[in-house]
Amino acid sequence: MSRIGKQTIVIPEKTEVTKNSRVLTVKGPLGTISREFKSDIDIHIEGDAINLKPVVSSKTVNALWGTYASHIKNMVDGVNRPFEKRLIVEGVGFRVEVSDNALVLSLGFSHKVHVVIPAGIKVSVEKNIIAISGINKETVGKFAADIRKLKRPEPYKGKGIRYDGEVIRRKQGKKAA
């Protein structure tokens, strides 16, 4: 039994949730998100609440029950308040700027790295802090992870791209004899 799946998901005002066969669509003040769900879980929309129940009881269906509830809750939250990830670029000569529909990063390589910003995501840069926001939690997290992967923080000087609030365990360098 899923503790997350049993909870009812409250639909806030100014938000519409519709189900068309296997596709669930959530429309809110910030935009619209659609997602296809398997028919193993029954999604029941009643008034301003969403309830989920498994059609059959098996190990995989019970695992999907809580997962689907989390996905639907993230969809409802995202159309009302955007998700945001902040990245900090740390290092001498490391720079970030937004040009057109791309993020241009100078990360100490012999060339600048250009990363195309996906649709539905807003990126702003202030000094060396990158703020990524959007209504879909998965695309915001994936884009932030892809940027961080370009230059992971190293443990000796702490140079690289890290999440805001992430703690990098520092190592002691070689000692002079």
Domain 3-78 and domain 83-163 have a common topology: yes
Q: Scan for tokens 């937004």, then name that residue.
A: 98
* Phi, psi (deg, nearest 5) at residue 41: -110, 130
What order do you get walking across the sheet with 121-126 strand by strand? 121-126, 129-134, 83-90, 160-163
Q: Which CATH number fits domain 3-78: 3.30.200.20, 3.40.50.1700, 3.40.50.620, 3.90.930.12?
A: 3.90.930.12
Q: Indicate the pTM of the whole model.
A: 0.90
* Sign of the alpha-carbon torsion through 112, 113, 116, 118: negative
Predicted confidence at residue 174, as pLDDT, reads: 84
Beta pairing, strands 41-46 & 31-36: unpaired
The model's pLDDT over 68-111, given as tens digits with 9 standing for 90+, comes to 999 999 999 999 999 999 999 999 999 999 998 999 999 999 99
Q: What is the CATH number of domain 83-163?
A: 3.90.930.12
Please report, for the chain, the start and end positions of each structural domain, with discontinuous segments joined by +. 3-78, 83-163
Give the span between the Cα atoms of 37 and 71, in whole angstroms: 10
Higher pLDDT, 129 or 5: 129
Residue 5: pLDDT band by 50, 70, 90 thresholds? confident
Predicted confidence at residue 3, as pLDDT, reads: 85
